[in-house]
Structure 1
Amino acid sequence: MKHNNLRLIFVRHGETVGNSSIRFYGKTDVPLNNEGIEQMTAVYKVLENEIFVSVFTSPLIRTIEGAYIILGNRNLNICKVENFREIDFGRWEGLTLKEIEELDPSMFCEWRKAFWKFDYPQGDRREDFIKRVKNGIDMVLNMVKEGTVLLVLHKGVIRTSIFYLLGKVDNYRGEDFFAELGSIHEIHRINGIWHLTRENYTEHLVPPSKQ
Protein backbone atom coordinates (compact mmCIF):
# COMPACT_ATOMS: atom_id res chain seq x y z
CA MET A 1 0.00 0.00 0.00
CA LYS A 2 1.29 3.44 -0.95
CA HIS A 3 0.78 6.38 1.37
CA ASN A 4 0.44 10.00 0.27
CA ASN A 5 1.20 13.24 2.00
CA LEU A 6 4.42 12.28 3.75
CA ARG A 7 6.86 15.15 4.16
CA LEU A 8 10.31 14.89 5.64
CA ILE A 9 11.87 18.18 6.72
CA PHE A 10 15.60 17.84 7.34
CA VAL A 11 17.46 20.53 9.29
CA ARG A 12 21.20 20.56 9.74
CA HIS A 13 22.20 21.47 13.29
CA GLY A 14 23.71 24.90 13.98
CA GLU A 15 27.26 26.00 14.67
CA THR A 16 28.93 24.31 17.63
CA VAL A 17 31.53 24.86 20.29
CA GLY A 18 34.80 24.35 18.42
CA ASN A 19 33.27 25.51 15.12
CA SER A 20 31.77 22.70 13.05
CA SER A 21 31.86 25.10 10.11
CA ILE A 22 35.62 24.61 9.77
CA ARG A 23 36.34 21.37 11.66
CA PHE A 24 35.56 17.73 10.98
CA TYR A 25 33.28 16.86 13.88
CA GLY A 26 31.65 13.49 13.31
CA LYS A 27 31.33 11.25 16.37
CA THR A 28 32.62 14.03 18.66
CA ASP A 29 29.74 15.21 20.86
CA VAL A 30 29.92 19.01 20.90
CA PRO A 31 27.03 21.32 21.90
CA LEU A 32 25.70 24.31 20.01
CA ASN A 33 27.41 27.63 20.63
CA ASN A 34 25.62 30.99 20.72
CA GLU A 35 25.67 31.30 16.93
CA GLY A 36 24.23 27.80 16.60
CA ILE A 37 21.43 28.64 19.03
CA GLU A 38 20.62 31.73 16.96
CA GLN A 39 20.58 29.64 13.78
CA MET A 40 18.18 27.13 15.29
CA THR A 41 15.99 29.95 16.58
CA ALA A 42 15.84 31.28 13.01
CA VAL A 43 14.78 27.81 11.82
CA TYR A 44 12.06 27.79 14.49
CA LYS A 45 10.63 31.00 13.01
CA VAL A 46 10.49 29.42 9.54
CA LEU A 47 8.85 26.21 10.76
CA GLU A 48 6.76 27.48 13.70
CA ASN A 49 3.45 26.83 11.91
CA GLU A 50 4.33 23.28 10.87
CA ILE A 51 2.42 20.46 12.54
CA PHE A 52 4.94 17.69 13.10
CA VAL A 53 3.80 14.15 13.78
CA SER A 54 7.27 12.88 14.74
CA VAL A 55 10.74 14.24 15.46
CA PHE A 56 14.04 12.44 14.97
CA THR A 57 17.63 13.32 15.83
CA SER A 58 20.93 11.54 16.27
CA PRO A 59 22.08 10.80 19.85
CA LEU A 60 24.54 13.72 19.63
CA ILE A 61 23.74 16.82 21.66
CA ARG A 62 24.02 19.33 18.82
CA THR A 63 21.04 17.77 17.01
CA ILE A 64 19.01 17.26 20.18
CA GLU A 65 19.48 20.88 21.28
CA GLY A 66 18.50 22.02 17.79
CA ALA A 67 15.32 19.96 17.84
CA TYR A 68 14.22 21.35 21.20
CA ILE A 69 14.70 24.91 19.96
CA ILE A 70 12.81 24.27 16.71
CA LEU A 71 9.92 22.58 18.52
CA GLY A 72 9.43 25.49 20.90
CA ASN A 73 6.28 24.82 22.94
CA ARG A 74 5.18 21.82 20.88
CA ASN A 75 4.90 18.80 23.15
CA LEU A 76 6.51 16.02 21.12
CA ASN A 77 8.91 13.28 22.11
CA ILE A 78 12.25 13.30 20.33
CA CYS A 79 13.33 9.93 18.95
CA LYS A 80 17.12 9.65 19.08
CA VAL A 81 18.32 7.26 16.38
CA GLU A 82 21.74 5.64 16.73
CA ASN A 83 21.95 5.06 12.96
CA PHE A 84 21.80 8.83 12.41
CA ARG A 85 25.16 9.53 14.06
CA GLU A 86 27.49 11.50 11.79
CA ILE A 87 30.29 9.60 10.11
CA ASP A 88 33.35 8.88 12.28
CA PHE A 89 36.23 10.84 10.75
CA GLY A 90 38.76 8.76 12.67
CA ARG A 91 42.21 10.34 12.72
CA TRP A 92 40.74 13.47 11.16
CA GLU A 93 38.20 14.15 13.93
CA GLY A 94 38.31 17.77 15.07
CA LEU A 95 40.80 18.89 12.43
CA THR A 96 40.47 21.61 9.79
CA LEU A 97 41.06 20.98 6.08
CA LYS A 98 44.48 22.61 6.33
CA GLU A 99 45.44 20.46 9.31
CA ILE A 100 44.29 17.30 7.51
CA GLU A 101 46.27 18.19 4.39
CA GLU A 102 49.39 18.68 6.51
CA LEU A 103 48.84 15.46 8.48
CA ASP A 104 47.91 13.15 5.59
CA PRO A 105 48.76 14.83 2.25
CA SER A 106 48.38 11.72 0.09
CA MET A 107 45.13 10.60 1.73
CA PHE A 108 43.83 14.16 1.55
CA CYS A 109 44.31 14.07 -2.24
CA GLU A 110 42.59 10.69 -2.40
CA TRP A 111 39.66 12.08 -0.41
CA ARG A 112 39.37 15.04 -2.79
CA LYS A 113 39.29 12.74 -5.82
CA ALA A 114 36.96 10.03 -4.52
CA PHE A 115 34.90 11.54 -1.70
CA TRP A 116 31.97 9.14 -1.97
CA LYS A 117 34.14 6.02 -1.88
CA PHE A 118 36.64 7.22 0.72
CA ASP A 119 37.15 5.37 4.00
CA TYR A 120 38.38 7.65 6.78
CA PRO A 121 41.66 6.55 8.40
CA GLN A 122 40.83 4.81 11.69
CA GLY A 123 37.22 5.90 11.18
CA ASP A 124 34.08 4.71 9.40
CA ARG A 125 34.08 2.85 6.13
CA ARG A 126 31.92 4.81 3.71
CA GLU A 127 29.95 1.69 2.79
CA ASP A 128 29.12 1.02 6.44
CA PHE A 129 28.04 4.62 7.01
CA ILE A 130 25.70 4.58 4.02
CA LYS A 131 24.19 1.28 5.12
CA ARG A 132 23.40 2.45 8.66
CA VAL A 133 21.88 5.74 7.46
CA LYS A 134 19.70 3.83 5.00
CA ASN A 135 18.61 1.56 7.85
CA GLY A 136 17.75 4.63 9.92
CA ILE A 137 15.60 6.09 7.15
CA ASP A 138 13.87 2.76 6.60
CA MET A 139 13.04 2.69 10.31
CA VAL A 140 11.50 6.18 10.10
CA LEU A 141 9.41 5.18 7.08
CA ASN A 142 8.18 2.08 8.88
CA MET A 143 7.16 4.16 11.88
CA VAL A 144 5.52 7.09 10.08
CA LYS A 145 3.24 6.70 7.06
CA GLU A 146 1.88 10.22 6.60
CA GLY A 147 2.14 13.76 7.92
CA THR A 148 5.16 15.99 8.40
CA VAL A 149 8.31 14.70 10.07
CA LEU A 150 11.16 16.81 11.47
CA LEU A 151 14.68 15.38 11.33
CA VAL A 152 17.47 17.47 12.87
CA LEU A 153 20.65 15.80 11.73
CA HIS A 154 24.21 16.11 10.43
CA LYS A 155 25.46 17.12 6.99
CA GLY A 156 26.62 13.67 5.92
CA VAL A 157 23.46 12.03 7.23
CA ILE A 158 21.17 14.51 5.46
CA ARG A 159 23.02 14.12 2.16
CA THR A 160 22.94 10.34 2.35
CA SER A 161 19.28 10.21 3.40
CA ILE A 162 18.02 12.43 0.60
CA PHE A 163 20.04 10.73 -2.12
CA TYR A 164 18.88 7.35 -0.83
CA LEU A 165 15.23 8.42 -1.03
CA LEU A 166 15.79 9.78 -4.54
CA GLY A 167 17.41 6.50 -5.60
CA LYS A 168 20.75 8.16 -6.33
CA VAL A 169 22.91 7.14 -3.39
CA ASP A 170 25.14 4.84 -5.47
CA ASN A 171 26.07 7.68 -7.83
CA TYR A 172 26.30 10.45 -5.26
CA ARG A 173 29.21 12.87 -5.10
CA GLY A 174 29.77 15.29 -2.24
CA GLU A 175 29.78 18.37 -4.46
CA ASP A 176 26.31 17.48 -5.78
CA PHE A 177 24.51 18.56 -2.62
CA PHE A 178 25.06 21.29 -0.06
CA ALA A 179 23.83 21.23 3.53
CA GLU A 180 25.01 24.33 5.35
CA LEU A 181 24.74 24.82 9.09
CA GLY A 182 21.13 25.67 9.92
CA SER A 183 19.90 24.79 6.42
CA ILE A 184 16.45 23.36 5.69
CA HIS A 185 15.72 20.59 3.17
CA GLU A 186 12.31 19.17 2.32
CA ILE A 187 11.33 16.01 0.46
CA HIS A 188 7.77 14.82 -0.26
CA ARG A 189 6.43 11.37 -1.11
CA ILE A 190 3.57 11.62 -3.58
CA ASN A 191 2.01 8.41 -4.93
CA GLY A 192 5.08 6.49 -3.84
CA ILE A 193 7.55 8.83 -5.57
CA TRP A 194 9.93 11.13 -3.66
CA HIS A 195 10.34 14.75 -4.78
CA LEU A 196 12.93 17.17 -3.39
CA THR A 197 11.03 20.43 -2.92
CA ARG A 198 13.46 22.49 -0.83
CA GLU A 199 17.24 22.16 -0.86
CA ASN A 200 19.77 23.96 1.34
CA TYR A 201 17.33 26.75 2.22
CA THR A 202 19.26 29.38 4.19
CA GLU A 203 17.41 32.66 3.65
CA HIS A 204 16.56 32.74 7.35
CA LEU A 205 20.25 32.84 8.30
CA VAL A 206 21.93 36.24 8.71
CA PRO A 207 24.71 36.20 7.77
CA PRO A 208 24.43 32.93 5.83
CA SER A 209 26.50 30.02 7.07
CA LYS A 210 29.66 29.18 5.17
CA GLN A 211 29.35 25.41 5.51
Structure 2
Amino acid sequence: MLKVYFTRHGETEWNAEKRIQGRLDSRLTARGERDAYLLGERLKDIEFDRIISSPSGRAMQTANALKRNRPLGIEADEELMEIYLGNWQGKTENEIKEQYPEEFYLYYHRPELFQNPEGESFFEVKKRAESFLNRLEQETSSGNILVVTHGVFLKAAYLICRNAPIEQIWRPPYLHGTGLTIVEINNRKTKLLLEGCIEHCE
Protein backbone atom coordinates (compact mmCIF):
# COMPACT_ATOMS: atom_id res chain seq x y z
CA MET A 1 0.00 0.00 0.00
CA LEU A 2 1.24 3.46 -0.95
CA LYS A 3 0.46 6.65 0.93
CA VAL A 4 0.92 9.90 -1.02
CA TYR A 5 1.15 13.22 0.81
CA PHE A 6 0.07 15.84 -1.73
CA THR A 7 0.38 19.56 -1.15
CA ARG A 8 -0.17 22.66 -3.21
CA HIS A 9 2.77 25.10 -3.30
CA GLY A 10 2.76 27.99 -0.83
CA GLU A 11 1.10 31.32 -1.60
CA THR A 12 2.92 33.31 -4.30
CA GLU A 13 3.10 36.99 -5.20
CA TRP A 14 0.75 36.37 -8.13
CA ASN A 15 -1.68 34.41 -5.96
CA ALA A 16 -1.92 37.45 -3.70
CA GLU A 17 -2.59 39.66 -6.76
CA LYS A 18 -5.23 37.19 -8.12
CA ARG A 19 -3.05 36.83 -11.19
CA ILE A 20 -3.22 33.60 -13.20
CA GLN A 21 0.11 31.74 -13.22
CA GLY A 22 -0.39 28.48 -15.09
CA ARG A 23 3.05 27.59 -16.48
CA LEU A 24 4.46 31.06 -15.65
CA ASP A 25 5.80 31.66 -12.18
CA SER A 26 6.30 33.97 -9.22
CA ARG A 27 8.04 33.58 -5.89
CA LEU A 28 6.47 32.62 -2.61
CA THR A 29 5.29 35.45 -0.40
CA ALA A 30 6.37 35.72 3.24
CA ARG A 31 3.12 33.95 4.09
CA GLY A 32 3.87 31.21 1.56
CA GLU A 33 7.32 30.66 3.06
CA ARG A 34 5.90 30.61 6.59
CA ASP A 35 3.18 28.11 5.67
CA ALA A 36 5.72 25.85 3.96
CA TYR A 37 7.85 25.95 7.12
CA LEU A 38 4.81 25.07 9.26
CA LEU A 39 3.86 22.18 6.98
CA GLY A 40 7.46 21.00 7.21
CA GLU A 41 7.10 20.97 10.99
CA ARG A 42 3.90 18.94 10.65
CA LEU A 43 5.62 16.37 8.43
CA LYS A 44 9.05 16.34 10.06
CA ASP A 45 8.71 12.88 11.65
CA ILE A 46 7.37 11.10 8.55
CA GLU A 47 9.85 8.96 6.65
CA PHE A 48 9.42 9.63 2.95
CA ASP A 49 10.74 7.27 0.30
CA ARG A 50 10.56 9.92 -2.43
CA ILE A 51 9.92 13.65 -2.82
CA ILE A 52 8.45 14.62 -6.19
CA SER A 53 7.63 18.15 -7.34
CA SER A 54 6.33 20.05 -10.29
CA PRO A 55 9.34 21.75 -11.91
CA SER A 56 7.70 25.18 -11.50
CA GLY A 57 9.79 27.45 -9.31
CA ARG A 58 7.06 27.99 -6.72
CA ALA A 59 6.60 24.23 -6.28
CA MET A 60 10.34 23.53 -6.09
CA GLN A 61 10.75 26.34 -3.55
CA THR A 62 8.02 24.73 -1.44
CA ALA A 63 9.51 21.24 -1.86
CA ASN A 64 12.92 22.45 -0.69
CA ALA A 65 11.33 23.93 2.43
CA LEU A 66 9.60 20.61 3.16
CA LYS A 67 12.65 18.45 2.43
CA ARG A 68 14.54 19.72 5.47
CA ASN A 69 17.58 17.52 6.15
CA ARG A 70 16.23 14.37 4.55
CA PRO A 71 18.85 12.58 2.42
CA LEU A 72 16.57 12.59 -0.62
CA GLY A 73 16.78 14.42 -3.91
CA ILE A 74 13.74 16.27 -5.22
CA GLU A 75 12.48 14.65 -8.41
CA ALA A 76 11.02 17.13 -10.92
CA ASP A 77 8.05 15.68 -12.81
CA GLU A 78 6.36 17.62 -15.63
CA GLU A 79 3.10 15.69 -15.25
CA LEU A 80 2.59 17.59 -11.98
CA MET A 81 2.58 21.02 -13.65
CA GLU A 82 -0.36 23.40 -13.41
CA ILE A 83 -2.99 23.61 -16.12
CA TYR A 84 -1.56 25.40 -19.16
CA LEU A 85 -3.74 28.45 -19.87
CA GLY A 86 -2.00 30.05 -22.83
CA ASN A 87 -2.55 33.78 -23.13
CA TRP A 88 -4.48 33.95 -19.85
CA GLN A 89 -1.22 33.47 -18.00
CA GLY A 90 0.14 36.59 -16.33
CA LYS A 91 -3.24 38.35 -16.43
CA THR A 92 -5.39 39.10 -13.40
CA GLU A 93 -8.77 37.40 -13.03
CA ASN A 94 -10.49 40.74 -13.69
CA GLU A 95 -8.54 41.22 -16.92
CA ILE A 96 -9.45 37.73 -18.11
CA LYS A 97 -13.11 38.26 -17.20
CA GLU A 98 -13.15 41.48 -19.25
CA GLN A 99 -11.27 40.11 -22.28
CA TYR A 100 -12.69 36.56 -22.36
CA PRO A 101 -16.06 36.74 -20.57
CA GLU A 102 -17.59 33.58 -22.08
CA GLU A 103 -14.48 31.43 -21.55
CA PHE A 104 -14.07 32.80 -18.02
CA TYR A 105 -17.65 31.84 -17.19
CA LEU A 106 -17.17 28.31 -18.54
CA TYR A 107 -13.90 27.89 -16.64
CA TYR A 108 -15.59 28.34 -13.28
CA HIS A 109 -19.22 27.37 -13.95
CA ARG A 110 -19.21 24.83 -16.81
CA PRO A 111 -15.73 23.31 -16.63
CA GLU A 112 -16.75 20.37 -18.84
CA LEU A 113 -17.29 22.87 -21.69
CA PHE A 114 -14.18 24.97 -21.13
CA GLN A 115 -11.72 25.12 -24.02
CA ASN A 116 -8.63 27.28 -24.38
CA PRO A 117 -7.23 27.15 -27.93
CA GLU A 118 -3.73 27.94 -26.64
CA GLY A 119 -3.92 25.77 -23.51
CA GLU A 120 -5.32 22.69 -21.82
CA SER A 121 -8.83 21.57 -20.98
CA PHE A 122 -9.71 20.09 -17.60
CA PHE A 123 -10.03 16.71 -19.32
CA GLU A 124 -6.39 16.91 -20.36
CA VAL A 125 -5.27 17.77 -16.83
CA LYS A 126 -7.28 14.84 -15.46
CA LYS A 127 -5.62 12.54 -17.99
CA ARG A 128 -2.21 13.74 -16.76
CA ALA A 129 -3.23 13.11 -13.15
CA GLU A 130 -4.40 9.58 -14.00
CA SER A 131 -1.11 8.88 -15.76
CA PHE A 132 0.90 10.17 -12.79
CA LEU A 133 -1.02 8.15 -10.19
CA ASN A 134 -0.79 4.94 -12.21
CA ARG A 135 2.92 5.42 -12.84
CA LEU A 136 3.57 6.27 -9.20
CA GLU A 137 2.18 2.95 -7.96
CA GLN A 138 4.10 1.04 -10.64
CA GLU A 139 7.36 2.69 -9.58
CA THR A 140 6.79 2.64 -5.79
CA SER A 141 4.15 0.17 -4.60
CA SER A 142 4.44 0.91 -0.87
CA GLY A 143 5.72 3.50 1.60
CA ASN A 144 5.27 7.27 1.81
CA ILE A 145 5.77 9.79 -0.99
CA LEU A 146 5.64 13.58 -0.74
CA VAL A 147 4.30 15.35 -3.83
CA VAL A 148 4.27 19.13 -4.38
CA THR A 149 1.99 20.32 -7.16
CA HIS A 150 -0.73 22.86 -8.07
CA GLY A 151 -4.39 23.57 -7.42
CA VAL A 152 -6.01 22.38 -10.65
CA PHE A 153 -3.85 19.25 -10.79
CA LEU A 154 -4.95 18.39 -7.25
CA LYS A 155 -8.59 19.06 -8.10
CA ALA A 156 -8.25 16.63 -11.02
CA ALA A 157 -6.73 14.04 -8.67
CA TYR A 158 -9.73 14.47 -6.35
CA LEU A 159 -12.04 13.63 -9.25
CA ILE A 160 -10.13 10.39 -9.84
CA CYS A 161 -10.34 9.42 -6.17
CA ARG A 162 -14.08 10.17 -6.09
CA ASN A 163 -14.78 8.68 -9.52
CA ALA A 164 -16.47 12.02 -10.24
CA PRO A 165 -17.01 13.91 -13.53
CA ILE A 166 -15.28 17.11 -14.64
CA GLU A 167 -18.44 19.02 -13.74
CA GLN A 168 -17.45 18.59 -10.07
CA ILE A 169 -13.88 19.84 -10.32
CA TRP A 170 -14.59 22.97 -8.26
CA ARG A 171 -16.40 21.06 -5.53
CA PRO A 172 -15.07 21.95 -2.03
CA PRO A 173 -12.68 21.98 -0.30
CA TYR A 174 -10.85 25.05 -1.57
CA LEU A 175 -7.16 24.21 -1.87
CA HIS A 176 -5.14 26.78 0.03
CA GLY A 177 -1.39 27.07 -0.31
CA THR A 178 0.36 24.17 1.52
CA GLY A 179 -2.97 22.47 2.19
CA LEU A 180 -2.29 18.79 2.91
CA THR A 181 -4.09 16.01 1.05
CA ILE A 182 -3.32 12.36 1.74
CA VAL A 183 -4.20 9.66 -0.80
CA GLU A 184 -3.93 5.93 -0.26
CA ILE A 185 -3.19 3.88 -3.40
CA ASN A 186 -3.61 0.12 -3.39
CA ASN A 187 -3.95 -2.05 -6.51
CA ARG A 188 -4.85 0.99 -8.64
CA LYS A 189 -7.59 1.98 -6.21
CA THR A 190 -7.33 5.45 -4.70
CA LYS A 191 -8.83 6.66 -1.44
CA LEU A 192 -8.81 10.16 0.01
CA LEU A 193 -7.73 10.09 3.65
CA LEU A 194 -7.35 13.86 4.15
CA GLU A 195 -8.45 16.78 1.96
CA GLY A 196 -6.71 20.15 1.79
CA CYS A 197 -6.04 20.38 5.53
CA ILE A 198 -4.46 23.64 6.71
CA GLU A 199 -4.43 23.02 10.48
CA HIS A 200 -0.69 23.72 10.47
CA CYS A 201 -1.35 27.28 9.25
CA GLU A 202 -3.86 28.18 11.95
TM over 0.5: yes
Cα distance in 1 for residues equivalent to 2:86 and 2:70: 37
- The question of 1:62 aligning with 2:80 is answered no
- The question of 1:185 aligning with 2:172 is answered no
Cα distance in 2 for residues equivalent to 1:169 and 1:112: 15
TM-score, L = length of structure 2: 0.89
- The question of 1:81 aligning with 2:73 is answered no
Q: How big is each residue's C-alpha offset from its partner over 1:17-64, in whole Å with a ceiling of 9 and x where there is no partner?
A: 333572211100323232211110010011111110111111111111
Q: Secondary structure at the match of 2:15?
A: coil
- The question of 1:37 aligning with 2:29 is answered no
- Segment drifting more, 84-93 vs 108-117: 108-117
Q: How big is each residue's C-alpha offset from its partner over 1:97-127, in whole Å with a ceiling of 9 and x where there is no partner?
A: 2222111222222333312441235222333
Answer whether contact 2:137 2:185 (CA < 8 A) is retained. no
In the alignment, which residue of structure 2 is the partner of 1:9?
Answer: 5
Cα distance in 2 for residues equivalent to 1:179 and 1:25: 15
Q: Note closer, same or farther for the CA distance 1:192–1:107 as it changes in structure 2 (3 Å cut).
A: closer
In the alignment, which residue of structure 1 is the partner of 2:169?
Answer: 173
In the alignment, which residue of structure 2 is the partner of 1:123?
Answer: 119
From the two aligned structures, give the one with the greater helix fraction.
2
Amino acid corresponding to residue 94 of structure 1 in structure 2: G
Answer whether contact 1:15 1:21 (CA < 8 A) is retained. no
List runs of 5+ in structure 2 lacking aligned partners: none
In the alignment, which residue of structure 2 is the partner of 1:200?
Answer: 196
Answer whether contact 1:159 1:177 (CA < 8 A) is retained. no
Structure 1 ranges of 4+ moved more than 6 A: none
Aligned Cα root-mean-square deviation (Å): 2.1
Give, in angstroms, the shift of residue 172 of structure 1: 3.2
Q: Aligned pairs, how many? A: 202
In the alignment, which residue of structure 2 is the partner of 1:91?
Answer: 87
